């Protein structure tokens, strides 16, 4: 199978990113945020987005020096062969663990709410097979499918929010500052991991028709996603109030609760199907990027052939934890915090190195000539 590295357009990219990052609103993130600062949880996504804007901006600025080159190329170029290799490997490993535990969480959701007696391993294997198949098709195809799905998924999400307002109470957002202003700021800094995917997405730069598209797309998606996660958290706070903290997956509790009048009482299956498709896209992109990282790190050109084996490894890693609780409470937050810190640090260091090496000046001179 010889694939042309198809080019990505801005709309495919934006829809892909929205599905990949925006889907965080529908898993355990809102509950985790609630447990940090109670009813001020909806502020965290926006504040974190504000904080993470700086490293992301610097990174994209640095990347723009190297037209049509991806993140790992830039890292290896700036840090040299050995340190660069080490940093790339570290990023790859962290994101691998992130993918494993994230996909395990999604499998848990599917099992807990919809397929109660099916073995976890089977559901998990199915999820990974679909994602591996999708990822093998290449980024162009993933983008097209994402664009196909994006409208129905966003629509369904807002239908859920709309229906949930029937039973929600806007006054649940008070006391406005939750557990205190300082606490919110601190938690926002800890929750940079909400947007680490944007860091990884810089791997996709070479696939764009123009790097301007990439920059524009990133910012559009960035703003939209931060608003979406924040809005979702806000709606769940209004609907569930204190119970949100004890609920694992508020989105799925909400879709089981809402109804379209007394004649169509149970409608979760509609939302579930769309949600599953969205999560396929999420992990397909995730898997593709990880394979790309692996290929870049070890200089493997036909990295797409690695995808099935990588998927199998992730499946095995994800199956290690015994209970969903272990994943949700111990492993995921740990990986998320590490990823948030590491990726932020790398972005800033990349920029600093470029600055000290005078790469920006070089580029300016080149332009002047």
Residues forming the site for other proteins (CB under 8 A): 38-39, 112-119, 122, 167, 169, 171-172, 174-180, 240-243, 246, 253, 256-257, 259, 262, 265-266
Which residue lies nearer to other proteins by CB, 85 or 113? 113
Return the biggest CA–CA distance within the chain.
72
Spatial CB neighbours of 183, under 8 Å, sequence gap ≥ 6: 36, 37
Which residue lies nearer to other proteins by CB, 57 or 257? 257
Task: Give the residue from 106, 112, 152, 158 showing the smallest Cα distance to 127.
Answer: 106
What does the alpha-carbon distance between residue 176 and residue 47 come to, in Å, rounded to a whole number? 15
What does the alpha-carbon distance between residue 183 and residue 177 come to, in Å, rounded to a whole number? 9
Which residue lies nearer to other proteins by CB, 118 or 365? 118
The least distance separating other proteins from the CB of residue 16, rounded to whole angstroms, comes to: 25
CA distances from 160 to 102, 156, 273, 295 (A): 23, 6, 14, 40
Which residue lies nearer to other proteins by CB, 85 or 257? 257
Which residue lies nearer to other proteins by CB, 62 or 188? 188
The β-bridge partners of 260 are: 264
User: By three-state DSSP, how is residue 8 classified?
Assistant: strand
What does the alpha-carbon distance between residue 265 and residue 248 come to, in Å, rounded to a whole number? 23
The least distance separating other proteins from the CB of residue 261, rounded to whole angstroms, comes to: 10
Q: Tokens standing for 42?
A: 């909806």
Angle between helix axes 332-357 and 71-79 (nearest 10 degrees) is 60
Which residue lies nearer to other proteins by CB, 177 or 224? 177
The least distance separating other proteins from the CB of residue 257, rounded to whole angstroms, comes to: 5
Which residue lies nearer to other proteins by CB, 94 or 109? 109
The least distance separating other proteins from the CB of residue 193, rounded to whole angstroms, comes to: 24
What does the alpha-carbon distance between residue 106 and residue 49 come to, in Å, rounded to a whole number? 24
* DSSP codes joined into one string, 336-363: HHHHHHHHHHHHHHHHHHHHHHTHHHHH
CA distances from 314 to 301, 341, 342 (A): 21, 22, 21
What does the alpha-carbon distance between residue 284 and residue 307 come to, in Å, rounded to a whole number? 10
The β-bridge partners of 82 are: none
The least distance separating other proteins from the CB of residue 297, rounded to whole angstroms, comes to: 36
* DSSP codes joined into one string, 296-344: HHTT-S-GGGGHHHHHHHHHHHHH-SSSHHIIIIIIHHHHHHHHHHHHH
Which residue lies nearer to other proteins by CB, 80 or 119? 119
The least distance separating other proteins from the CB of residue 337, rounded to whole angstroms, comes to: 24
The least distance separating other proteins from the CB of residue 172, rounded to whole angstroms, comes to: 7
The least distance separating other proteins from the CB of residue 286, rounded to whole angstroms, comes to: 24
Which residue lies nearer to other proteins by CB, 141 or 241? 241
What does the alpha-carbon distance between residue 290 and residue 311 come to, in Å, rounded to a whole number? 10
The least distance separating other proteins from the CB of residue 120, rounded to whole angstroms, comes to: 11
The least distance separating other proteins from the CB of residue 166, rounded to whole angstroms, comes to: 8
Which residue lies nearer to other proteins by CB, 64 or 129? 129
């Amino acid at each position: 199978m010889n694939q042309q590295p198809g080019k990505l357009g801005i709309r495919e990219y934006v829809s892909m990113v929205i599905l990949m990052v925006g889907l965080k609103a529908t898993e355990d993130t809102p509950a985790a945020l609630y447990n940090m600062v109670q009813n001020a949880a909806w502020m965290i996504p926006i504040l974190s987005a504000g904080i993470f804007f700086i490293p992301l901006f610097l990174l994209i600025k640095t990347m723009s020096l190297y037209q049509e080159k991806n993140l790992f190329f830039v890292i290896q170029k700036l840090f040299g062969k050995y340190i660069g290799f080490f940093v790339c490997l570290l990023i790859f490993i962290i994101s691998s663990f992130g993918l494993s535990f994230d996909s395990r969480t999604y499998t848990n959701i599917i099992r807990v709410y919809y397929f109660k007696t099916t073995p976890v391993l089977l559901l998990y294997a199915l999820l990974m097979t679909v994602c591996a198949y999708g990822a093998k098709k290449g980024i162009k195809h993933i983008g097209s499918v994402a664009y196909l799905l994006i409208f129905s998924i966003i629509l369904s999400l807002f239908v859920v929010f709309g229906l949930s307002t029937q039973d929600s109470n806007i006054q649940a957002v008070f006391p406005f500052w939750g557990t205190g202003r300082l606490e919110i700021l601190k938690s926002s800094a800890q929750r940079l991991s909400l947007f680490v995917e944007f860091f990884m997405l810089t791997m996709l730069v070479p696939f764009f028709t123009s790097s301007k598209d990439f920059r524009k797309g990133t910012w559009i998606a960035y703003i939209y996603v931060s608003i979406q996660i924040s809005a979702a958290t806000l709606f769940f706070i209004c609907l569930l109030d204190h119970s949100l903290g004890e609920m694992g997956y508020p989105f799925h509790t909400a879709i089981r609760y809402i109804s379209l009048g007394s004649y169509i009482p149970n409608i979760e299956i509609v939302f579930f199907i769309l949600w599953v498709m969205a999560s396929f896209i999420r992990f397909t992109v995730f898997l593709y990027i990880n394979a790309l990282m692996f290929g870049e790190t070890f200089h493997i050109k036909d990295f797409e052939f690695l995808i099935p084996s990588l998927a199998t490894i992730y499946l095995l890693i994800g199956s290690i934890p015994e209970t969903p609780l272990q994943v949700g409470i111990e492993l995921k937050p740990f990986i998320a915090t590490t990823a948030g810190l590491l990726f932020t640090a790398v972005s800033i260091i990349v920029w600093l190195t470029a600055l000290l090496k005078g790469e920006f000046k070089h580029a300016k001179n080149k332009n002047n000539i």
